[in-house]
């Protein structure tokens, strides 16, 4: 595991609750050690024919918050349970869900997002070491000028394609896993320095983030950017105003510059899209829906906040969760696609996911319905249906890697626009 945590890996332990038997064996295939974003096959052998058992997963993150899940299975005539084949009869999920014990885990405290993993078992025990940082990947803190972040570099010689990962939450998961796939990745926080939160920023300076791009240019010559939420519209602005960006992934982002004025070279280049926190919609859980706090980006008075992405030379991958309760992400994505088409541009792909919420992460993290907002002071309801959201993360993670490999190669060909809807 990356050094976001105290060790390189996090042990995931499974419980199989019934009276202990030496004949029962819990197996993790193809091996007990894998990267965090890789699926595993869970099998149980040595049970009685048609025996009903409950499997449990339990993790404790780096803040001591406990996450857990459970599912009940019936063994086949040979006394075997195979999560790739057999349906859960009840518990945290039902039906055939091979990785359900992972993504269905919920925090025992309300509004908590997973940060670290761990788990146990009773009938049989096996440890799955889920690595956030692959063998040979280096992690180097970077503090240079206005840059404060962490650089992950794959093993081996040569020039690797580079990605700037702009974070709304303090997490190295996405950056370290992308580096394990062969990218040089610099992870930097959206909000850092003396300001406590996004609301305290009088303005954003694109120049500070350009420094990060210039830093990456010391490595390879092709640069990609990835960001979600507010970090996504900042990524769009970098691709539009700063030369040298080849590919940009915008996950559940807005078509406009949200919240605060954006400056570049000592001049304001975009006005802010205003939001009103009094329009937050409280829910019974204590979390609030923020989807409707923003003004309409297409309103005449907000035209100065729209990012002129048609000026960008980069390729775009727009991503929207259709059940996002934090942003009206699907509408914003449609606005950006329409804008590019109107200007005769075909340098984009887009994918939307029915049932997916705002926090689209690398796959197999516990599903997070609500937690403290990454850059504002309230508990946010993120939206998403657990099964659909988990499936979207698996598909999107592969899509992001494919997109970057295509457009961060030195001889990347021009591609036609593609629109994908995934259920």
Paired residues of 28 in beta bridges: 42
What Rg, from alpha-carbon coordinates, does the chain have? 22
CB-CB neighbours of 2 under 10 Å: 25
Active-site annotation holds for 315: no
Catalytic hit among 10, 92, 176, 229: 229
Report the DSSP pairing between strands 147-153 and 138-144: antiparallel
Residue 257 near residue 363, CB atoms below 8 Å:
no
Positive/negative CA dihedral, 154, 158, 159, 160: negative
Question: What are the DSSP calls for 285-353, one per residue?
Answer: TS-EE-TTSBPPTTSGGGGGGB--GGG--SEEEEEEETTBSSS-HHHHHHHHHHHHHHTT---EEEEEE
Which of 324, 328, 373, 381 is flagged as catalytic? 324
Task: Name the active-site residue from 86, 237, 358, 370.
Answer: 358
Helix (H) or strand (E) holding 73: strand 66-74
Q: Is residue 197 a contact partner of residue 218, using CB atoms and an 8 Å limit?
A: no
Residue 394: name the closest of 40, 4, 106, 26 by CA. Answer: 40
Catalytic, 296? Answer: no
Residues in the chain: 423
**Catalytic annotation on 86?**
no
**Positions marked active-site:** 229, 324, 358
């Amino acid at each position: 595991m990356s050094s976001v945590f105290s060790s390189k890996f996090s042990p995931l332990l499974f419980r199989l609750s019934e009276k202990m038997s030496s004949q029962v064996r819990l197996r993790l295939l193809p091996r007990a050690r894998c990267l965090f974003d890789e699926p595993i096959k869970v099998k149980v052998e040595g049970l009685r024919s048609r025996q009903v058992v409950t499997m449990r997963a339990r993790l404790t993150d780096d803040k001591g918050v406990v996450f857990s899940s459970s599912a009940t299975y019936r063994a086949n005539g040979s006394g075997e349970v195979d999560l790739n084949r057999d349906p859960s009869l009840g518990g945290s999920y039902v039906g055939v869900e091979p990785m359900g014990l992972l993504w269905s885990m919920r925090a025992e405290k309300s509004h908590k997002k997973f940060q670290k993993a761990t788990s146990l078992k009773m009938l049989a025990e096996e440890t799955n070491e889920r690595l956030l940082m692959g063998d040979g990947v280096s992690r180097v803190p970077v503090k240079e000028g206005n840059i404060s972040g962490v650089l992950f570099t794959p093993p081996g010689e040569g020039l690797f394609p580079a990605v700037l990962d702009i974070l709304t939450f303090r997490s190295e998961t996405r950056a370290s896993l992308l580096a394990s796939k062969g990218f040089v990745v610099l992870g930097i926080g959206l909000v850092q320095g003396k300001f406590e939160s996004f609301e305290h920023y009088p303005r954003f300076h694109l120049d500070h983030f350009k420094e990060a791009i210039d830093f990456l240019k010391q490595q390879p010559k092709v640069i990609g950017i990835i960001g979600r939420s507010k970090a996504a519209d900042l990524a769009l602005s970098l691709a539009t105003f700063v030369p040298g960006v080849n590919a940009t992934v915008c996950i559940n982002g807005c078509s406009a510059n949200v919240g605060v004025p954006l400056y570049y070279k000592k001049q304001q280049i975009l006005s802010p899209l205003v939001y009103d926190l009094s329009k937050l919609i409280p829910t019974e859980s204590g979390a609030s829906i923020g989807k409707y706090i923003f003004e309409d980006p297409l309103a005449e008075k907000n035209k100065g906040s729209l990012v002129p992405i048609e000026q960008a030379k980069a390729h775009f991958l727009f991503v929207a969760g259709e059940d996002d309760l934090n942003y009206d992400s699907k509408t914003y994505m449609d606005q950006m696609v329409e804008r590019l088409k109107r200007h005769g541009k075909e340098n984009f792909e887009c994918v939307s996911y029915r049932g997916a919420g705002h926090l689209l992460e690398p796959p197999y993290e516990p599903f997070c319905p609500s937690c403290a907002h990454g850059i504002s002071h309230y508990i946010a309801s993120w939206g998403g249906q657990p099964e659909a959201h988990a499936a979207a993360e698996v598909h999107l993670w592969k899509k992001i890697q494919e997109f970057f490999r295509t457009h961060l190669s030195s001889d990347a060909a021009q591609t036609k626009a593609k629109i994908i809807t995934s259920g």
